[in-house]
């Protein structure tokens, strides 16, 4: 079934509901990924564990995405894309319900890992579906539209979810996220077009991604986003302890970051549609420049406010270019797996960045060193982008 031809005949109005349905799912997944950062102290206190131990809920989710996403993509590869999306949203909803009900930390951690399985497969399959229902010249923008749900989760959902957890307890936030998952499941069932069964995948096809071109694309994604999370993981102490931002104004600075995220995501899709090759280099160079400038901007709260907008802008401007870059280099018949692996690479970058930031602080390099060290990671990815490509 050629969805792009069908969409051309039906017009833009026929393409909008499926993209919105995918965006709702992305919104829920964005919430469950990031909301835990604002709730860690409550979770730690409730379960009687230390704050670093509670941080394993972030690491566990990232590992679930990194390892579980590709495995789930292979296992579900015989299913139509809509069925895969419905399956992963069911897993997502169940995982959040389990986390809300968990009587102990071990079960909560297990629930986070299970929920992470849905993340990579949703965005991988969702990217393929989004590209299929739009004309060829709008493919990257379609991916950006899906990721708009993720950006809205950062702009609106993160502060609201944190507030909800503070007022009604952290479990209330996970009940709310599970409700969003159920809504996304219904929207996907109603609006995403039915497709033929996908191309069956086997685990041995993962070896195809060890070829130079896809391997380099995955490495660029992981390095680029590691730079983002090396800073973002510690953004609150950077603002309060280094920039001197009052505690009560941190949420405002995070909102500014979120506004930049929203604009950067759309800008990245626009760039990738017009200059597929150059856009990757532009966003990686821009991200490195903003991280370097952040170190200087932290000297004044007013400059820090502008830097937060720019950091959000460049951090999420990388999404569509890097995702499109990877999908274009996936082996024939494995574009869904390639897209899923790239989402895993994003989350591997998250884990690497947070880990490297922790190492820097443990080595007494200090919070001000983080933006400078973080800039080296997208710069390394940028260097890889200039190496002549081999298939």
Own/partner long-range contacts of 271-278 (Cβ < 8 Å, ≥24 apart): 271/140, 271/317, 271/320, 271/321, 272/140, 272/141, 272/143, 272/144, 272/320, 272/321, 272/324, 272/325, 273/137, 273/138, 273/139, 273/140, 273/141, 276/140, 276/321, 276/324, 276/325, 276/328
Residue 332 domain boundaries: 205-391
User: 197: which strand partners?
Assistant: 80
Alpha helices for 153-249 (secondary structure H) = 158-168, 170-191, 212-232, 235-237
Range among 14-23, 213-222, 353-362, 370-379 rated most confident: 370-379
Burial of 208 (0-12, 13-18, 19+ CB in 10 A): middle
pLDDT at residue 102 is higher than 90 = yes
Are residues 244 and 369 both part of a single domain? yes
CATH code for the domain in which residue 247 is found: 1.20.1250.20
- Among 174-188, 199-213, 277-291, 343-357, the least confident range: 199-213
Q: Which residue has the higher pLDDT, 167 or 40?
A: 167
Contact 329, 319 (CB under 8 A): no
Give yes or no: residues 166 and 185 share one domain. yes
d(CA 291, CA 235): 12
Last residue of a domain, one of 182, 200, 218: 200
Q: Which of 200, 223, 246 is the last residue of a domain?
A: 200
Same domain, 159 and 256: no
The tokens describing 114, both together, are 């299970």
Mean pLDDT to the nearest integer, 100-113: 93
Same domain (yes/no): 196, 228 = no
CA–chain centroid gap for 114, Å, is 17
Same domain? For 229 and 194 the reply is no
- Tell me how far apart the alpha carbons of residues 102 and 114 are, in angstroms, rounded to a whole number: 13
Q: How many domains does the structure of the chain reveal?
A: 2
Domain end position, chosen among 149, 167, 200 = 200
129 and 26 inside one domain: yes
| DSSP notation for 46-81 | HHT--HHHHTHHHHHHHHIIIIIHHHHHHHTTTSBH
Measured CA to CA, the distance from residue 111 to residue 89 in angstroms comes to 14
Cα–Cα distance for residue pair 356/375, rounded to 1 Å: 12
**pLDDT tier at 304 (50, 70, 90 boundaries)?**
confident
> Residue 291 above 90 pLDDT?
yes
Q: Is 205 helix (H, G, I), strand (E, B) or coil?
A: helix
Domain identity same for 194 and 210 = no
Q: Which residue has the higher pLDDT, 184 or 230?
A: 184
Nearest-CA neighbor of 259 among 146, 149, 155, 147?
A: 155
| Judgement on whether residues 226 and 170 belong to the same structural domain of the protein | no
Q: Where is pLDDT greater, at 280 or 2?
A: 280
Q: Taking the complete model, does pTM exceed 0.85, yes or no?
A: no
Is there a single domain that holds both residue 226 and residue 372? Answer: yes
> In which region does residue 104 sit, left (phi positive, over 0), alpha (psi from -120 to 50) or beta (all else)?
beta
* Same domain flag for 213 and 229: yes
pLDDT in tens, 160-195: 777 788 788 889 999 999 999 999 999 999 988 876
Q: Do 174 and 218 have their domain in common?
A: no
188 and 224: one domain? no
- 232 or 51, which is more confident? 232
């Amino acid at each position: 079934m050629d969805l792009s031809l069908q969409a051309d005949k039906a017009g833009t109005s026929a393409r909008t509901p499926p993209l919105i349905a995918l965006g709702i799912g992305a919104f829920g997944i964005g919430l469950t990924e990031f909301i835990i950062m604002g709730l860690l102290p409550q979770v730690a206190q409730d379960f009687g564990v230390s704050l670093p131990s509670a941080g394993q809920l972030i690491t566990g989710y990232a590992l679930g995405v990194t390892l579980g996403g590709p495995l789930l993509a292979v296992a579900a590869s015989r299913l139509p894309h809509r069925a895969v999306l419905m399956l992963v949203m069911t897993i997502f909803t169940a995982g959040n319900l389990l986390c809300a009900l968990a009587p102990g930390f071990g079960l909560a951690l297990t629930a986070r890992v299970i929920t992470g399985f849905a993340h990579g497969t949703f965005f991988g399959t969702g990217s393929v579906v989004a590209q299929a229902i739009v004309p060829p010249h709008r493919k990257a923008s379609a991916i950006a539209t899906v990721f708009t749900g993720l950006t809205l989760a950062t702009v609106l959902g993160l502060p609201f979810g944190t507030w909800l957890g503070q007022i009604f307890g952290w479990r209330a936030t996970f009940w709310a996220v599970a409700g969003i998952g159920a809504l996304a499941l219904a929207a996907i069932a109603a609006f995403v077009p039915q497709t033929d069964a996908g191309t069956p995948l086997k685990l041995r096809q993962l070896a195809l991604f060890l070829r130079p071109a896809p391997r380099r694309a995955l490495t660029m994604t992981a390095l680029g986003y590691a730079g983002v999370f090396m800073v973002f993981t510690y953004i609150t102490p950077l603002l309060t302890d280094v920039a001197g931002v009052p505690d009560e104004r941190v949420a405002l600075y995070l909102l500014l970051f979120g506004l930049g995220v929203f604009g950067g995501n759309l800008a990245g899709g626009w760039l990738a549609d017009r200059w597929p090759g150059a856009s990757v280099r532009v966003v990686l160079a821009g991200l490195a420049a903003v991280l370097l400038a952040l170190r200087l901007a932290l000297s004044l709260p007013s400059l820090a406010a502008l830097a937060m907008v720019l950091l959000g802008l460049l951090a999420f401007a990388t999404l569509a270019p890097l995702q499109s870059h990877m999908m274009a280099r996936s082996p024939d018949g494995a574009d869904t797996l390639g897209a899923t692996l790239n989402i895993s690479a994003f989350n591997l970058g998250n884990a690497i960045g947070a880990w490297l930031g922790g190492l820097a602080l443990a080595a007494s390099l200090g919070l001000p060193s983080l933006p400078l060290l973080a800039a080296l990671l997208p710069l390394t990815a940028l260097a890889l982008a200039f190496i002549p490509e081999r298939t």
